[in-house]
Every structure is written in C-alpha cells, then in structure tokens.
C-alpha cells in the first residue's frame, strides 16, 4: 500500500467547493471520499424523518459530483475509519468539525485512536464563520446576549476566511465500500417521503442557484420583506446551510461586500444569529434539555395530549397556526415569522412545555439544527435572553 492516500470524512459539509478539510485531503494525495451514517449511542438526537429524506438526496447529489465515487458506510464511525485506514493504507484522515456535544466527544476519541495507530488526523472549520471559542468578551467569557456578541465580538474579530475553490483530486473507492446511497435506508416507505421534496432542489449546485436567485430577487427587500410570510423575500437557504451544501463564508462575503445597504447588513446579522446559537450550545452543553434560567424548572407546564396533537397536525382552529403547521408537515419548512407564532402559541397559549415543540421541529424540519432549534425554543419559552429565532437560521 502507498502512503499518499487520504480519507475525507464528509459530515455536514456535503459540497466540494469551500471545503477546507477536503482541500487538505486533496493536497495530501489520492482521496477516499467517505460518508458514514453513525447513529450509535445518539439516543434522542438521531436525525428526524425530514432530515433523513434531505440527506438521502443531498448525498445522491454529492455522489454525482464525485463521479459516483462516494463511499458510504453505516455503523460506528470510529470502527469504520480505523478499519478503512488499515485496509487501504491511508495515512491521513481529514474532516470538518461538528459542534454537538456528543460529536465533539466522539471525534476526540477517534482522533486519539487513529493517531495511536500512526494515522495523521486533522479537523477544520467548514461550518461556521468563527469558532465558538473565538468570540468572547473582554473577560474571556462567552456572550449571553446577541447584540454585543455580534457587534463587539464578531464584527471586531478577524474577517472570516475567503471561500476556497473546488479542489482537483484523484478519487478512490475501496472494495469494501458501497456507493449505493439506498443502503443507508434514509427514505421512508411512505408517499410523504416523495411529496415533501416536491418544492425543493437539493445539493450543492441547487444551493448556489438558490443563493443567486435570492441576490437578484430577494435581498433588495430583505429587511422589511422578511416580516411578510406570503412574500418571497427570505432566502430559503437554511436547509442547504445546515447540510453544508453551501458554507456561511460563501454567503457572507458576497453580501458583506454590498457596502451601505441595510438589507445586506441585516442578512449578515442573521448569519451572526446562527453563530450565536452555536456559541450558546458550545458553552451550555445541556441547552437542548435544560432551562438556561433555572427558575423555569418549576414552571407548571400543562400535560394535554389532545392539545399537543392538535398543534402538531394543524388542527387548533387558529388559521395562521394551522397553516404554518401544515406547511411544516408538507414541505419540511416554515417561514420564520410563522415559526415564532406557532411556537408562542404552544408555550404561551396552550402552556405546553417548549421541549415538545423542539422535538416536533427536530423531526419535521429540513433545517433542524440542534444549536438553533433548542436555543430558539428556549427563547420562545422565556428561558434564555435571546431574540426570537426558531431552528436552523430559519430567517434566511
């Protein structure tokens, strides 16, 4: 076996352009592009139904971009990467970082084990404009409120790196791997699995096309138009951003370059909200489960299965709430302003625990994102000092 082989482990970076870890792997030598569906020991954080559907189509698109040479596995990432390195003689493994607590723990363990076997391992930032530990106040502590986080932290920090070009690489597929995405079993055997994607184009090229359309037709009215759910003035990029079909750097720099435009400035600040949510999760590992303000632990939430089910299925009798919840089920998406309405109705009117909403959105949203979803539901419930945002940069 030769030593110029590197493994690139795709995760939430399902693109070829502006992919720092992939660029490192390509510079190392021949590249084995790998995706591993690892649902071992994830418990309640296993992907929801909508996310699995989007992932299937996103991986299919990525594989086409690789000439059908994406190697897919199902099982423990730790075992797969170690075995694959031994089988192929790969001397390096590269990936872009994820920030969910259990993934960070697992990734640290994988690094130690691979390095113990003589494998070079490097991880990069391919998902955020700034690392969560980079933006702190003068005392070196994390910000708890968005405005100073963004204005005093992000905008005062070094500018995010410029997007990287698509690397030129020689792709390899090991004999032990499958290139059939269907072997991952991501699609449900239900008509819903087909109908929910009817209004979407999925993949890296689709993400760039959607961004171009937004720049041409939506950005000029973004600041005020985003308040109108019936108008096409949001980007609808949040699922593409969550799965890494486009990077925040690829969005930030073209928009940030439009100087003196309030719509452009507002769009960039919404990317800043995504950064803030990741900072909250990084510094508060129990964010998805535990009230950040502990006084809410004693709040007398009601237990009413019928009201919860009516909310989930869009049967409350409140037109805007029901329209939003039915849109969610049928399209995997909901306009941010409507998300705030349905969230407020659940916790303020029905007095049902915000965690019911967090779980339902986790299962039904294409852009379901642990940091944004849990932090924003806590805000709706009043458990944390934030502005109203629900799920993965949904305002985009």
Domain ranges of the chain: 5-127, 294-381
How does pLDDT run along the chain (396 residues), one tens digit per residue?
A: 446 999 999 999 999 999 999 999 999 999 999 999 999 878 888 999 999 999 999 999 999 999 999 999 999 999 999 999 999 999 999 999 999 999 999 999 999 999 999 999 999 999 999 999 999 999 999 999 999 999 999 999 999 999 999 999 999 998 888 999 999 999 998 899 999 999 999 999 999 999 999 999 999 999 999 999 998 899 999 999 999 999 999 999 999 989 789 999 999 999 999 999 999 999 999 999 999 888 888 999 999 999 999 999 999 999 999 999 999 999 999 999 999 999 999 999 999 999 999 999 999 999 999 999 999 999 888 876 555 444 444 457
Structural contact between residues 214 and 176, judged by C-beta atoms closer than 8 angstroms: no
pLDDT score at 386: 52
Starting from the edge strand earliest in sequence, which strands make up the sheet with 120-124, in order?
71-74, 30-37, 5-10, 92-96, 120-124
CA 332 – CA 315 distance, rounded (Å): 18
List Cβ neighbours of 50 (8 Å cut-off, separation of 6 or more). 196, 332, 363, 364, 365, 366, 368
Q: Is 158 exposed, middle or buried (0-12, 13-18, 19+ CB in 10 A)?
A: exposed
User: Residue 383: its pLDDT value, please?
Assistant: 77
| pLDDT computed for residue 2 by the predictor | 47
**pTM for this entry:** 0.95
- CATH (one of 1.10.579.10, 2.102.10.10, 3.40.50.2000, 1.10.357.10) for 294-381: 1.10.579.10
pLDDT the model gives residue 79: 96
User: What pLDDT, on a 0 to 100 scale, did the predictor assign at position 393?
Assistant: 46
CATH, domain 5-127, list 3.40.50.1970, 3.40.50.620, 1.10.490.10, 3.20.20.150: 3.40.50.620
**Rounded CA gap, 160 and 162, in Å?**
7
pLDDT at 44: 82
Q: 67 in the Ramachandran plot: left (φ > 0), alpha (ψ -120 to 50) or beta?
A: left
């Amino acid at each position: 076996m030769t030593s110029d082989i590197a493994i690139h482990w795709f995760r939430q970076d399902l693109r070829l352009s502006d992919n720092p870890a992939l660029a490192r792997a390509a510079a190392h030598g021949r590249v084995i592009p790998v995706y591993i569906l690892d649902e071992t020991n994830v418990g309640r954080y296993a992907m929801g139904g909508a996310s699995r559907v989007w992932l299937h189509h996103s991986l299919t698109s990525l594989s086409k971009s690789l000439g059908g040479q994406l190697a897919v596995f199902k099982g423990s990432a730790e075992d797969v990467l170690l075995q694959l390195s031994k089988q192929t003689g790969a001397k390096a493994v590269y990936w872009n970082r994820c920030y969910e607590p259990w993934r960070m723990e697992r990734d640290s363990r994988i690094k130690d084990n691979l390095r113990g076997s003589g494998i070079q391992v490097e991880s990069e930032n391919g998902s955020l404009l700034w690392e969560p530990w980079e933006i702190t106040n003068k005392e070196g502590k994390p910000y708890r409120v968005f405005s100073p986080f963004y204005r005093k932290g992000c905008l005062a920090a070094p500018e995010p790196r410029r997007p990287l070009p698509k690397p030129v690489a020689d792709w390899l597929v090991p004999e032990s791997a499958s290139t059939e995405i269907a072997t991952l079993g991501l699609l449900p055997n239900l008509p819903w699995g087909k109908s929910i994607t009817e209004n979407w184009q999925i993949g890296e090229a689709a993400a760039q096309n959607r961004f171009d359309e937004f720049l041409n037709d939506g950005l000029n009215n973004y600041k005020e138009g985003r308040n109108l759910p019936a108008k096409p003035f949001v980007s609808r990029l949040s699922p593409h951003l969550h799965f890494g079909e486009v990077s925040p750097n690829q969005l930030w720099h073209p928009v940030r370059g439009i100087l003196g435009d309030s719509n452009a400035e507002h769009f960039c600040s919404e990317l800043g909200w995504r950064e803030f949510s990741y900072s909250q999760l990084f510094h508060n590992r129990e964010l998805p489960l535990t009230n950040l303000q502990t006084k809410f632990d004693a709040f007398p939430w009601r237990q009413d299965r019928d009201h919860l089910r009516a909310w989930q299925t869009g049967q409350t009798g409140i037109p805007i709430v029901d329209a939003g919840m039915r849109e969610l089920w049928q399209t995997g998406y909901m306009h941010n302003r409507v998300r705030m309405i349905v969230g407020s109705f659940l916790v303020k009117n029905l007095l049902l625990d915000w965690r019911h909403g967090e779980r339902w959105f986790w299962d039904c949203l294409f852009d379901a994102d642990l940091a944004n979803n849990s932090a924003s539901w806590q805000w709706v419930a009043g458990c944390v000092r934030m502005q109203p945002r629900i799920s993965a940069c949904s305002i985009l």
